[in-house]
Structure 1
């Protein structure tokens, strides 16, 4: 399956593009010349990415502005996902803020930067432990009723938190850390499969930590296919579950081409069995 319908309505190609590396998670301000970032975004769409994942604190604000600069007016079938609820006040300084007034203000600011009246998927970037979950999700549900959000997603949750959230409002997606070497979120993935929710794995390439030492299962599979280890790691996600929608990020056109080529890589049962123990 090469596509997935988020909430049964928004059909996207399963291999998308994430904007975190355009600005850098730890950077404050521009990481790349804006024209380079624009070129990468446009090429991602040319290569078939129909899901663009961003957040208001990437930059902060800059990633959303770059998305609009590169892609607005948005083509039919392009799905934009952004996030709110984590505020940056300096390099590597992050604050969770799920207060209703703050969430509303952050969402409306994202709409302005993205130049849209409605964002397709708005994700609560982190659950604020100081604010009742019902208040946080209730605010997003209100924004959805007002037509400012099409669907609601969650980022970095436990199975219990996801189950609770689904009793409060309709949830379309989850974004947890998950990759070939880090599978701690398997229980969340299983719940997403059972409920038909999209699972957007962040750090799908382990934030550059995936290695393929000679003789490792990843290296062996890559060699069999004439592929790179990163391509095999992305292909593994696409084969692992039909609800997985990896959105690898990069600021390099060459790396982008490498990532997008992974969509055509077909792993065998033998490959998948060999990779099953890679995390160990």
Structure 2
């Protein structure tokens, strides 16, 4: 497994991480089986992955609870990353809240679910357009001073938001969506790098389409994340373009005698601006397969070949759309 320093935090993370949205078992992923999820998390750690990324919003706390159970007796072997801001339970309103009181309350709730007395990387899950950034970052700095968290991160921010946060406190990492099929966030990665901001990227496999497992356009249930967040990938014209790219990825995979998905993971993980590429896994076999991508490297020539094919197929532009929070509070803010 490759390892990288996370920005200026002093924390070393595995270059491939396990993302835990799916194991929350909420409506986006069609349920979940706790025992299977625990086995997946433990398999990831047993195969070299040290970074586990979760959030209260993943299944209304279920994902954090499962991570806590899975890492009992293994806490010293892992870097735990979670998030703050998305209310759960009766307070859920579809928006992110990052005011001082919410952060101070939610951190203790996360610590309890994770069965730990500190969080390695604590991230603002989405922008909060109503709370002043200095209030948000004062709370995060206070948690770091108290020893409840080791590093401060933000997720789904743009450059202006990141700059405002950096004016208040050192931001150790950002979490943007970034993959072969979503490159539009590269500018914020480039913006943060000179200021010591690491990158935890999500969406490495494009919700599974970059594994090559779909032979024809699939049909998903209403509300499935692959329809809501990744819908355009499973529609024309993107579907056919992705199939063209997969031809190149398969040839490289065959040369290394590895699954196609590992090529896509390594393209992201080996990007010079990426500290760790998050990849979801619902079974131990998936976790082992994802971790195995960290045991070999794409050559410079192979990366160049993928990039050339990418340019020819997609036209050389940045793919995807910026994540924009459109919840209740954001709408209020935009109305003034």
- TM-score w.r.t. length of structure 1: 0.91
Stretch of structure 1 that moved more, 132-141 or 218-227: 218-227
Deviations 1:200-255 (CA, angstroms, capped at 9, x unpaired): 11111112233563673323322332322211011111221154301211112222
Structure 2 residue 14 is matched with structure 1 residue 13: yes
Deviations 1:24-67 (CA, angstroms, capped at 9, x unpaired): 46349x92221111111111110111111110111110111111
Cα deviation for residue 199 of structure 1 reads 0.5
Which residues in structure 2 correspond to 1:94-133 (within 5 Å)?
94-133=94-133
Cα deviation for residue 89 of structure 1 reads 5.3
C-alpha distance in 2 between matches for 1:257 and 1:195: 34
Aligned to 1:61: 61
C-alpha distance in 2 between matches for 1:213 and 1:130: 42
Aligned counterpart in structure 1 of residue 292 of structure 2, from 261, 264, 268: 261
Which residues in structure 2 correspond to 1:153-172 (within 5 Å)?
153-172=153-172
Aligned to 2:280: 249
Deviations 1:71-106 (CA, angstroms, capped at 9, x unpaired): 12334341110001122459x973211222112111
C-alpha distance in 1 between matches for 2:132 and 2:75: 37
Aligned counterpart in structure 2 of residue 230 of structure 1, from 244, 258, 261: 261
C-alpha distance in 2 between matches for 1:119 and 1:24: 22
C-alpha distance in 2 between matches for 1:154 and 1:51: 16
Cα deviation for residue 264 of structure 1 reads 1.8
C-alpha distance in 2 between matches for 1:75 and 1:139: 25
Cα deviation for residue 187 of structure 1 reads 0.9
**What SS does the corresponding residue of 1:57 show, helix, strand or coil?**
coil
Aligned to 2:49: 49
C-alpha distance in 1 between matches for 2:139 and 2:184: 29
Q: Which ranges of structure 1 fall in alignment gaps of 5 or more residues?
A: none
Cα deviation for residue 273 of structure 1 reads 1.0
Stretch of structure 1 that moved more, 223-232 or 208-217: 208-217
Deviating beyond 3 angstroms after TM superposition, the runs of 4 or more aligned structure 1 residues are: 24-28
Deviations 1:250-272 (CA, angstroms, capped at 9, x unpaired): 11222222211111232112211
Structure 2 residue 31 is matched with structure 1 residue 31: yes
Q: Which ranges of structure 2 fall in alignment gaps of 5 or more residues?
A: 213-241, 315-336
Aligned to 2:270: 239
Aligned to 1:273: 304
C-alpha distance in 2 between matches for 1:254 and 1:241: 28
- TM-score w.r.t. length of structure 2: 0.76
Larger radius of gyration: 2
How many residues of Structure 1 are paired with residues of Structure 2 in the alignment? 278
